[in-house]
Copies of this chain bind each other. A is one copy, B any other.
Amino acid sequence: MRALFLDGSQLTLRRDYPAPAPASGESVVRVTTAGICGTDLELVRGYMGYRGVPGHEFVGVVTASSTPALVGTRVAGEINAACGNCDFCRADLGRHCPARTVLGILGRDGAFADYLTLPDRNLIPLPASIPDEAAVLIEPIAAACEIFEQVALAADEKILVLGDGRLGAIVASVLRTHGFAPVVGGHHREKLAALARLGLKVEAEEKLRPGFDCVVDCTGKSAGFARAVTLVRPCGRIILKSTAAANGALNLAPVVINEISVIGSRCGRFGPAVAMLDEGLVDPRPLISARYPLDDGLAAFAAARDPLKFKILLQVA
């Protein structure tokens, strides 16, 4: 099959990559559409030392399964494939299972290929109301919803979403859907203007002033955390969404002095995200900047690195 293969920092298109073999309890999914995420760009820069097929945002159709009823179903999929037996799995925290593989990130080939495998229990059948180009963004919408599982935000909380990229836009949209009025701060005038047209409050980075109750770091850069520390008020919260490859020289003294809470936040459950899309509460389609066929996957990655682009999709089938 075709696959984008990452070996070290070298990404290549393979046409003879072996199709993945499903283990017991797993399904094979024919990928239809996949999204390139900031984490994928980090993987190519060496994050996680990943070797394999990247890609974890996808929509596809089940072609073979341990659960026959799934065959032919259009699905999205939770990306953490957990053991199902450990303390974390029993507490419904499979995404922290120490034995887990993670689609396209850790020990399991991902979605930038004709086929992928995932445990049957990871697959979420999609209602017809959600088109592929919206469903492919369920994963980042779920990651945004995760914030509500972790912290109780006050109704009048003054929230800054730092970063005008893909994730920042989705996090701000989901926060707005929940009745909050976040400000999106970023460096890119054109992107801020586009987000303003979507109804989001925006502010140029250099005009941001300290005093936010909560700063959500969606910059994808290690400098984002240091900037968040300067913008959050004492006793405020930073929700950290960026996993940047660079290990910046960080000074944690202000976190102690100002008694800031820093909450690491990663994947979320897919259920709430699917419900939001099904009910039309959030529509990520305006964030799609371009689509490329899988055969042009390297060009798609180059486009995804353009800081003026939001979301780049790979059309696989």
Contact = CB atoms under 8 A, between A and B. Distances in A.
B266 A235 contact: no
B249 A247 contact: yes
B250 A252 contact: yes
Interface in A246-275: 247-266
A256 B250 contact: no
A249 B248 CA distance: 6
Interface stretch (A6-14, A121-129, A237-245, A284-292): A237-245
Nearest to A242: B256
A96 interface: yes
A112 to B, nearest CB: 21
A90 to B, nearest CB: 14
Contact of A260 (B235, B242, B256, B264): B264
B258 A265 contact: no
Between A47, A235, A244, the greatest number of chain B beta carbons within 10 A of the residue's beta carbon is seen for A235
Contact of A262 (B150, B247, B255): B255
Contact of A234 (B47, B88, B222): B88
A298 B245 CA distance: 44
> Considering the complex of A and B, which 7 residue pairs feature the smallest CB-CB distances, nearest first?
A96-B234, A255-B264, A262-B262, A256-B264, A243-B253, A250-B250, A247-B251
